[in-house]
Amino acid sequence: MKCTSRHLYQNISIFLCLVFLTFSCGCADKNIPHKYDTGNISVNNRVDNVALSFASDLAVTNDNIAGKNNTTIEEESAAALFDVNRANVLYSKDIHERLYPASLTKVLTALVAIKYGNPEDVITCSDNVTKLESGASTCGLKPGDQLTLNQALHALLIHSSNDAAVAIAEHVGGSIEGFSTLMNSEATLLGATNSHFVNPHGLSDNDHYTTVYDLYLITNEAIKYPLFNEIVAMTEYSTVFNDKSGAEKEMSFGTTNLFLHGDYSAPSGVTVIGGKTGTTNAAGNCLIIIAKDASGNPYIGVILRCSQRTLVNEEMIDILREITS
């Protein structure tokens, strides 16, 4: 059962979203046509008119910025590095182009769940946790399984479990559609108006897209929540939950973040403190990294549509070098 206060918060959020959309002149979705080809969102969906005065504490730019190291990435990729506290863009390439985010979607899923849910809530999984496309990453949830929202969030962010995403969405939003409404409402309130989300996991859909810049806005908000920061920094997780008969089930997994896993190292003077990975055939290899410099100042790096898993990590290292340049 979901508490009355959660429904109140959801309704308030949706109402505010509608007000924002009604009075804002900066929402590009009304003016930019959506055109798709070969499984990817075409470059005709690039958004060049972005309101640069949305908030004084946010990094903003409409330009490609080479950075002090003249960092380069794949032609088809979009990427950026943001200095969180100084509200500065250190590197950027095609950051307002609409692209598929794959499992980077789950940063917004977690943000909405933490904001509107209670970590100690008990989720009862529906049949939909098993209705995912072949090959989708899961943590093995079955209909009738019961686990806390906190446990599901760990599976969502550490293991990138799509079944956990479904369970979270149905619990917090009442349905996938209801939760997607909350996602879009939250994104709009953050100024991420060049995005549209139709599911909580990021499995490909033509109507599910975002930009590098919007993912910065979403991640920048997510890192304000201690639970989010705690989870995305973890290298492994083990827990016990219950099946539909009440019997205990174990769940254990490691991070998909290869920087935290130890396969890749940040440049000298930079420490990776968290992040999120994402990969689908349509989206390519995607990565968000949260890092800090030697003084503890935080940064957010984002890469979308990279062709190879190894390359997306190598390119992130190059981007992170801008921190100490």
Band (56; pLDDT cuts 50, 70, 90): low
For 102, residues 6+ apart whose C-beta sits below 8 A from its C-beta are: 202, 204, 278, 279, 280, 283, 284, 286
Per the annotation, the verdict on 42 as an active-site residue is no
Q: 210 with 251: CB under 8 angstroms?
A: no
Domain positions in the chain are 4-9+35-324
What's the alpha-carbon Rg for the chain, to the nearest Å? Answer: 19
Q: 186 with 260: CB under 8 angstroms?
A: no
Q: What gap in Å lies between CA 181 and CA 174, rounded to an integer?
A: 11
State the catalytic residue, choosing from 13, 77, 160, 180.
Answer: 160
Q: Give the pLDDT confidence score for residue 60 in this predicted structure.
A: 87
Which CATH architecture group holds 4-9+35-324? 3-Layer(aba) Sandwich (3.40)
Percent of the chain with pLDDT over 70: 83
**Dihedral, CA atoms, 61, 64, 70, 72, nearest 10 degrees?**
120
DSSP 210: B
Q: Where are the beta strands (DSSP E) in the chain?
A: 36-37, 40-41, 78-83, 88-93, 122-124, 146-148, 236-242, 248-254, 270-280, 284-293, 298-306
SS3 286: strand
Q: Please give the average per-residue pLDDT across 26-42, as a whole number.
A: 33
Q: Name the residue with higher pLDDT: 195 or 26.
A: 195
Q: What gap in Å lies between CA 165 and CA 152, rounded to an integer?
A: 8
pLDDT in tens, 90-99: 999 999 999 9
DSSP 144: T
> CA nearest 297: which of 264, 316, 320, 314?
320
pLDDT in tens, 188-197: 999 999 999 9
Sheet-wide strand order for 78-83: 88-93, 78-83, 298-306, 284-293, 270-280
Q: Give the pLDDT confidence score for residue 119 in this predicted structure.
A: 97
Per the annotation, the verdict on 53 as an active-site residue is no
pLDDT at 46 over 50: no
For 256, residues 6+ apart whose C-beta sits below 8 A from its C-beta are: 158, 159, 160, 277
What burial letters (b/e) apply to 264-277, b meaning 16+ CB within 10 Å?
A: bebbeebebbbbbb
Q: 67 with 90: CB under 8 angstroms?
A: yes
SS3 160: coil
The first and second tokens of residue 29, run together, are 């979705």
pLDDT at 31 over 80: no
Q: What gap in Å lies between CA 300 and CA 288, rounded to an integer?
A: 7
Per the annotation, the verdict on 195 as an active-site residue is no
pLDDT at 81 over 60: yes
Band (204; pLDDT cuts 50, 70, 90): confident
Q: What gap in Å lies between CA 36 and CA 63, rounded to an integer?
A: 24
Q: Name the residue with higher pLDDT: 312 or 13.
A: 312
State the number of CA atoms in the 13 A half-sphere of 29 facing the CB.
19
The dihedrals phi and psi of 88, each to the nearest 5 degrees, come to -130, 145
CA distances from 265 to 233, 262, 318 (A): 15, 7, 11
Q: What gap in Å lies between CA 120 and CA 12, rounded to an integer?
A: 23
